[in-house]
Each structure stands twice: as C-alpha cells, then as structure tokens.
Amino acid sequence: MESLSGTGYVILGMLALGVRTGYDIKAGVDQSTRFFWAASYGQIYPELRRLEEAGLVEGKSSPTGARKRKEYELTASGRAELLRWLEAPPSMPELRDESLLKLFFADALPREKAVQQLRMRRAGHEEFLALLREIETRAVDDPAFVNLVLGYGIAYAEFNVAWCREQEARLLETAEAAA
C-alpha cells in the first residue's frame, strides 16, 4: 500500500473515535485539528474513497429521509495502519505562517507600516487565544491528549501575543533612539 496523506491519517484518527460520515469528519476537524491540520470536503471525500478501496475503512449506506449518507468505520487494517503511524517518529515540522512571512520581508516597508504588520499578528493571536479559551471551557471531558494539544495551542498563542508586544516596544524604542 502506498503511503497515506496527512488527511488520510486525520480521517483514520477521527474514525478511531467512532463511526462518522464525511460531514461528521469535517465537523470534527473544524472543531479540533483545523488549528494545526485542516482538511476540506474536497480532500476528505476523495480520501475516504481511497481508504475504502485500500480496505482501511468500510462505508455503509445510512440514508436519512431522502438524503444519501454513508457512514464509515475503521477496519482492523485501518486501526493497525493508524497505530503504525502513531508509533512512528514524526516528520520535521513545516510551519506555514503568512504573518511571519510578511514580517520576514517587512524591511521593504516604511517602519510604521512594518510595525503595523506586527500589530496585526498580535491581534490575530489575541483572537486565536480568545477562541481557544472558549473551547477550553467546553473541553473538560475531552481525552487527555486532546486537552494536552489544546494547552499547547493556548501556550503558543500566549507566547505569540507576548512576543509581538515585546518586539513592537523594541522596534519603537529603536526608532525613537534613531530620531
């Protein structure tokens, strides 16, 4: 069997939590992993077909009224593949962060506009932190490692807010000293 995509493992992981439709998988992703591993319907449904063809998931028709629905569950092979992947060392993380990319090239801007990029990054992380805090109030009964990752997200957002404040103060202090 060829290697699965990250979305394939997201789907296997979601199905390890119980039987789900493609819609349910997307809803689960949107409430949890999207903060660090997003998946669209355009990725989920084709991947479900590939996983089914590979014998890693099994889909059963489960219509509701006139609506077609297919519920999926892990097969024994799917659970074994998920466990194999979970036990393997992770790849080197690849960070894709547009606000950091803009900061990297911000020397091309006038200083005040460059500092504004830093302020926008801080505002984005403050918004992210507020969202994670809201999730935290509802996550009391979540599994231990789900809460562990939520705690990481909160610490990450707090770090970024503090870092942006420190760097903005440093840049403004440097600009005042140069004037």
Mean pLDDT of 67-73: 92
State the average pLDDT over residues 44-70.
Answer: 93
Residue 178 pLDDT > 80? no
93 domain-assigned:
no
Q: What is the pLDDT of residue 14?
A: 96
Q: Could you tell me if 72 and 57 are in contact, meaning their C-beta atoms sit under 8 angstroms apart?
A: yes
pLDDT for position 174: 81
Tell me the per-residue pLDDT of 26-56, one tens digit each, with 9 for 90 and over: 999 999 999 899 999 999 999 999 999 999 9
114: which residues sit within 8 A by CB, 6+ positions away?
A: 103, 106, 107, 171
CATH classification of the domain holding 39 = 1.10.10.10
Check residue 177 and give its pLDDT. 78
Which residue among 60, 87, 114 closes a domain? 87
Q: What is the mean pLDDT of residues 149-166?
A: 97
Instruction: Decide if 38 is inside a domain.
Output: yes
Confidence band for 12, pLDDT divided at 50, 70 and 90: very high
Mean pLDDT of all residues in 154-163: 98
Residue 141's pLDDT is what? Answer: 83
Domain presence at residue 1: no
Give the pLDDT mean for 171-175. Answer: 83
Whether pLDDT at 179 is above 80: no
Q: Using CB atoms within 10 Å of the CB of residue 52, give its burial: 0 to 12 exposed, 13 to 18 middle, 19+ buried.
A: middle
Longest alpha-carbon distance in the chain: 72
Per-residue pLDDT at 165 exceeds 60: yes
Q: How far is CA 40 from CA 2, 7, 60, 65, 90, in A?
A: 22, 9, 22, 25, 23
Residue with tokens 């507020």: 130
Q: What is the pLDDT of residue 81?
A: 97
**Are the C-beta atoms of residues 27 and 41 closer than 8 Å to each other?**
no
Mean pLDDT of 106-125: 95
> Within this chain, do residues 107 and 166 fall inside the same structural domain, yes or no?
yes
More confident residue, 41 or 64: 41
pTM, two decimal places = 0.82
Task: Write down which residue in 22, 53, 87 finishes a domain.
Answer: 87
